[in-house]
Amino acid sequence: MRASTRRAVLALASVSILLPAASAQDAVSGAWSFRADVRQKGCVLTGNMTISQPAQNGTRTCSFVSRETCEDIPDTSWQMDQTCKITPQGDKMIIRSKVVRSLTPGYSIQNYLPDHFVVEPESSSLMTGIWQDANFAAPVEFWRDDSLPVS
């Protein structure tokens, strides 16, 4: 085997060894669903979030659509398109959001507080933590679309 061919084979073998390890370390990227029962105000917040691969400094970007429904306002829900930034803090992830646009006709984004989260990955298909806005906080659970929520 020629030296250049041997180097090419070794380089390909190195890449194939490194790629599975990199994807195994990043169990957070991808699609998630979430739910928070905000009992203090009689509402349920659900949504779907997509989380990016981490940057070199460990931060990530994300985007999601949230839907809030409240018991005392029947047949009404608010859907918001939000972007977010995720900052690692130990085993936890701090998710800070910004409302981009309302998906609810006639409802302004000025009337909706961004949804923020502090979560900790439990496995590759479950994250738990706290949802919060400027006025309330509640437990939140994130799960992969192909698995069911625990609670």
- Spatial contact of 62 and 49, defined as CB atoms under 8 Å apart: yes
Q: What is the pTM of this model?
A: 0.79
Rounded CA-CA distance 22/126 in Å is: 19
pLDDT at 76 over 70: yes
pLDDT of residue 72: 86
Helix (H, G, I), strand (E, B) or coil at 39: helix
How many other C-beta atoms lie within 10 A of the C-beta of residue 16? 9
Q: Tokens at residue 108, please? A: 């302004």
* Mean local confidence (pLDDT), 48-76: 93
Q: Tokens at residue 120, please? A: 């900790």
pLDDT at 20 over 90: no
- Spatial contact of 120 and 128, defined as CB atoms under 8 Å apart: yes
pLDDT per position as a tens digit, 102-146: 999 999 999 999 999 999 999 999 999 999 999 999 999 999 977
User: 25: which DSSP letter?
Assistant: H
Task: Band the pLDDT of 4: cuts 50, 70, 90.
Answer: low
Q: Tokens at residue 102, please? A: 């309302």
